[in-house]
A and B are shown apart, each in its own frame.
Chain A
Amino acid sequence: DTEVTQTPKHLVMGMTNKKSLKCEQHMGHRAMYWYKQKAKKPPELMFVYSYEKLSINESVPSRFSPECPNSSLLNLHLHALQPEDSALYLCASSQDLVDRGYEQYFGPGTRLTVT
């Protein structure tokens, strides 16, 4: 089973709201990733967690705050977002980091709309 689950599937939020995206995998993977994908574009890496520690932050604005409570869960906390943050947010996991030769598995994504 190579399933990564994400909730919610759709989210509409105002610019003053606080919300969270959730990601879960039960494959025993030790690396987890957040991506942002705009329409008709490839995914853009935001954050990488390795063994529950933040490994890479691709200079993401502080209104996005990642959290890894345990090895199976990854959250993305959202606060004071802008309309241009509207996108598909994808979570992915891999057995270990991709630069150690492991492939990533993606979740179905959360479609976020900021009004």
Chain B
Amino acid sequence: GNSVTQMEGPVTLSEEAFLTINCTYTATGYPSLFWYVQYPGEGLQLLLKATKADDKGSNKGFEATYRKETTSFHLEKGSVQVSDSAVYFCALSEVFYTGANSKLTFGKGITLSVRP
């Protein structure tokens, strides 16, 4: 079956530090890959996505590249802010076009804390 593995957390960084959050996946087909962010007390927000190999998703200074050869989708940001403190989930969905297996598979999530 499908699975998503995220690096263990939590992660604490100083403001303006470089961020990398690792995500690797296992899938039988050709998944779409996503990063979702959840701020305290809120629902999940789609941060970025990539639908095929070598695609780069980007949003709000965050980037992630779909690497099929390493089955990875690592999240990066060059300079984090205090407002980036949140829980980050990596997720995948396999594209079957049938509607019979319409699920997101999530990683465990990682908590990022950015201190001033």
Partner-B contacts on A (CB < 8 A): 2, 4, 6, 31, 40-43, 45, 48, 50, 55-56, 88, 90, 92, 97-101, 103-109
Minimum C-beta distance from A1 to chain B (A): 14
A72 vs B107: C-alpha distance when bound (angstroms)? 29
Do the beta carbons of B100 and A99 come within 8 Å of each other?
Answer: yes
Most buried by A among B51, B95, B103, B104: B104
Binds A, one of B18-26, B42-50, B63-71, B78-86: B42-50
- B73, CB-defined interface residue at 8 Å: no
| Contact yes or no, B102 A97, CB < 8 A | yes
Contact of B95 among A4, A31, A101 (CB under 8 A): A101
Whole-angstrom distance between the Cβ of A35 and the nearest chain B Cβ: 9
Residues on B lying within 8 angstroms of A by beta carbon are 32, 34, 36, 42-46, 49, 51, 87, 89, 91, 93-104, 106-109, 111
Task: Write 30 A-B pairs (CB below 8 A) sorted by A numbering.
Answer: A4-B43, A6-B43, A42-B89, A42-B91, A42-B108, A45-B104, A48-B102, A55-B102, A56-B102, A90-B43, A90-B44, A97-B99, A98-B93, A98-B102, A98-B103, A98-B104, A99-B93, A99-B95, A99-B96, A99-B97, A99-B99, A100-B95, A100-B96, A100-B97, A103-B32, A103-B34, A103-B46, A106-B45, A107-B43, A109-B43
CB distance from A53 to the nearest CB of B (A): 10
Contact B43–A41 (Cβ < 8 Å): no
Minimum Cβ distance to chain B for residue A5 (Å): 10
A41 in complex: contacting residue of B91, B95, B103, B108, CB < 8 Å: B108
20 more A-B contacts (CB under 8 A) besides A55-B102, A90-B43, A97-B99?
A: A4-B43, A6-B43, A42-B107, A43-B106, A45-B103, A48-B103, A56-B102, A88-B43, A98-B103, A99-B97, A99-B98, A99-B101, A99-B102, A100-B99, A100-B102, A101-B97, A104-B104, A106-B45, A109-B42, A109-B43
